Amino acid sequence: MDVQANIDTEKLVLDLFEVEGVKFGNYTLKSGVQAPVYIDLRVVVSYPELMVRVSEMLWKASQNVKSEYKSICGVPYTALPLATCISAKENIPMLIRRKEAKGYGTKKLIEGKYNDGDNCLIIEDVCTSGSSVLDTVQALKTCGIKVSDAIVLLDREQGAVDVLKQHGITLHSVMGLNQVMEILERSKKIDCEMVEKVRSFLQVNRFTPSTNTQPCQPNQIKKLSFTERGKLCTNQMTKKLFGIMEEKKSNLVVSADFTQSQQILELVDKVGPHVCMVKTHIDIVEDFSQDFITKLLQMAQKHKFLLFEDRKYADIGNTVKLQYNNGIYHVSSWADIINAHCISGLGVLAALKQIGLEKNKGCLLVAEMSSTGNMITAEYTAATVKLAEENKDFVIGFICQNRLSDDPTLLHLTPGVQLKKGSDDLGQQYLTPEEVISKRGNDVIIVGRGITQSADVINTAIAYKQSAYNAYCQLLQ
């Protein structure tokens, strides 16, 4: 680092300390962890000269980036004005990541002009685990934009460099927390006791790259067959499903949304040979009985498909546990797979896991919905993806509209599918199998009325099966 850079960094650190962007004491972080240091650079917007200086230093650090990039994108919200300063001063186009996406359909995660395959440079103020950077990378990725590098003003040196590296992203920082402490100690703003306290905090609170399967580049996953992906899975349910899909050459799930058990049994006997899974809404069945479940399980064995109860558990943990295990349906006794909205927090997943894990069941997380105006935001989707990636012992994938994770062991199942694009009169929106599988990179289509209301159920199911499986095969070429 040259002498001028040292002087600039020192001045910046002292100024950030002065405006309380960096504070020392006893703080409870968002995660609930007690920390001796608190960094919140939102305050710089109240000091325009400081804000410009921060953006200039970020820009200087970006000179080390080797890849070409078309635009920059600040991680919302703190880095948004910083990216704006850089964009205006250096005349570089900017993209804005929308945190609260509009309803599905008109939903635009990323504002600004871009082309498929563009590389974008991420700007961030502070990095701890790298997860906020990854959320923005995820949002960009769903729009076809790549990220190879990220610039951060202050790296808390808790492992973000390695975490991001695992995702193929090089993190460049203007300064690290240890350097900040050295400067402040030298300037007598903090004492050596505090420095030691922070150092041991940083040592204990480190984030390490996940030891799970390495994520693939999206193009690589699309080239992996279901069999190859099955081999990478440690989750037995995912392995089983990949196996069935390959054996039956079917990535079709039928949604058996009938209210009479006989209608369901007749349907699944007809379409059973052509589907990898049958999806139920057991609470719409008017003549539910244990005998119906016994027959359904016999069908599942006869035609080799899995049973997915689309219950969308969403309550607090304790309630969800009772809903899954008790009541008149005893879902945990027969459904191979269930799904959940994680709106209520980690408790829902923890509760379902308590019941399902030892029964070797699988869970899908609802990360996106097909219905118009649904209130799922980009941020919610990104948080759901993270939850899935951290709970792969039980979570086998997503119900979604777009490929969301580069982890080849997570499945992407998409409802809202018919042979023709369109909608129903209650907000359902339909995409075609080709759009869902080959364009959007999902794995499985879920089809209800497209099959159940057809005059020729068997041949229609075959048509959906072939259309989705051919789209998958095309990706492998």
Angle at 99 between CA 93 and CA 104, to 5 degrees: 100
Query: 414 has which bridge partners?
Result: 445
Say if residue 156 carries a ligand binding annotation.
no
Nearer to ligand 5IU, 198 or 252 (CB): 252
- For residue 432, what is the enclosing H or E element? none
- Rounded to whole angstroms, the Cα distance separating 230 from 96 reads 37
Nearer to ligand 5IU, 48 or 103 (CB): 103
Q: Least Å distance between CB 386 and ligand 5IU?
A: 19
Per CB under 6 A, 344 contacts ligand 5IU: no
Per CB under 6 A, 421 contacts ligand 5IU: no
Say if residue 279 carries a ligand binding annotation.
yes
Reading the block at residue 337, the tokens are 């797979």
SS3 56: helix
Say if residue 229 carries a ligand binding annotation.
no
Q: Which of 128, 136, 255, 391 binds ligand 5IU (CB under 6 A)?
A: 255
Per CB under 6 A, 415 contacts ligand 5IU: yes
Which residues ranging from 128 to 147 are in contact with ligand 5IU (CB under 6 A)?
A: none
Per CB under 6 A, 449 contacts ligand 5IU: yes
Per CB under 6 A, 310 contacts ligand 5IU: yes
Per CB under 6 A, 309 contacts ligand 5IU: no
Which residues ranging from 371 to 390 are in contact with ligand 5IU (CB under 6 A)?
A: 371
Q: Look up residue 187 and give its amino acid.
A: S
Per CB under 6 A, 399 contacts ligand 5IU: yes
- Scanning 12-20, 25-33, 282-290, 447-455 for contacts with ligand 5IU by CB under 6 A, the matching segment is 447-455
- Rounded to whole angstroms, the Cα distance separating 51 from 156 reads 20
Nearer to ligand 5IU, 225 or 344 (CB): 344
Nearer to ligand 5IU, 158 or 384 (CB): 384
Q: Which of 448, 460, 464, 469 binds ligand 5IU (CB under 6 A)?
A: 448
Reading the block at residue 353, the tokens are 């896991």
Say if residue 272 carries a ligand binding annotation.
no
Q: Look up residue 241 and give its amino acid.
A: L
Per CB under 6 A, 407 contacts ligand 5IU: no
Say if residue 403 carries a ligand binding annotation.
no
Q: Which of 10, 257, 315, 434 binds ligand 5IU (CB under 6 A)?
A: 257
Burial of 428 (C-beta count, 10 Å sphere; 0-12/13-18/19+): middle
SS3 118: coil
Nearer to ligand 5IU, 235 or 384 (CB): 384
- For residue 219, what is the enclosing H or E element? helix 218-223
DSSP labels, 130-190: SHHHHHHHHHHHHTT-B--EEEEEEE--SSHHHHHHHTT-EEEEEEEHHHHHHHHHHTTSS
CB neighbourhood size of 77 (10 A): 11
Nearer to ligand 5IU, 56 or 257 (CB): 257
Per the annotation, the verdict on 269 as an active-site residue is no
CB 271 within 8 A of CB 254: yes
List, in order, residues 6 or more apart from 396 with CB less than 8 Å away.
Answer: 235, 237, 238, 241, 337, 362, 363, 364, 410, 411
Q: Which of 212, 423, 428, 470 binds ligand 5IU (CB under 6 A)?
A: 428
Per the annotation, the verdict on 312 as an active-site residue is yes
Query: 308 has which bridge partners?
Result: 279, 337
Per the annotation, the verdict on 439 as an active-site residue is no
Q: Look up residue 329 and give its amino acid.
A: Y
Question: Whole-angstrom distance between the N-terminal and C-terminal Cα of the chain?
Answer: 48
CB 81 within 8 A of CB 41: no
- Rounded to whole angstroms, the Cα distance separating 385 from 405 reads 7
- Scanning 124-132, 230-238, 362-370, 465-473 for contacts with ligand 5IU by CB under 6 A, the matching segment is 362-370
Nearer to ligand 5IU, 81 or 415 (CB): 415
Q: Which of 447, 463, 468, 471 binds ligand 5IU (CB under 6 A)?
A: 447
CB neighbourhood size of 109 (10 A): 25
Marked catalytic residue, from 310, 336, 406, 443: 310
- Scanning 31-39, 144-152, 177-185, 363-371 for contacts with ligand 5IU by CB under 6 A, the matching segment is 363-371
- Rounded to whole angstroms, the Cα distance separating 16 from 10 reads 10
Per CB under 6 A, 446 contacts ligand 5IU: yes
Per CB under 6 A, 369 contacts ligand 5IU: yes
- Rounded to whole angstroms, the Cα distance separating 411 from 404 reads 10
Q: Least Å distance between CB 453 and ligand 5IU?
A: 8
Q: How many helices (H) and strands (E) does the chain have?
A: 19, 18
Which residue number has the CB closest to ligand 5IU? 448
Q: Least Å distance between CB 448 and ligand 5IU?
A: 3
Residues of the binding site: 257, 279, 370, 428, 448-449
Residues of the binding site for substrate: 257, 279, 370, 428, 448-449
* Active-site residue set: 310, 312, 315
Positions touching ligand 5IU (CB under 6 A) are 255, 257, 281, 310, 366, 369-371, 399, 415-416, 428, 446-450
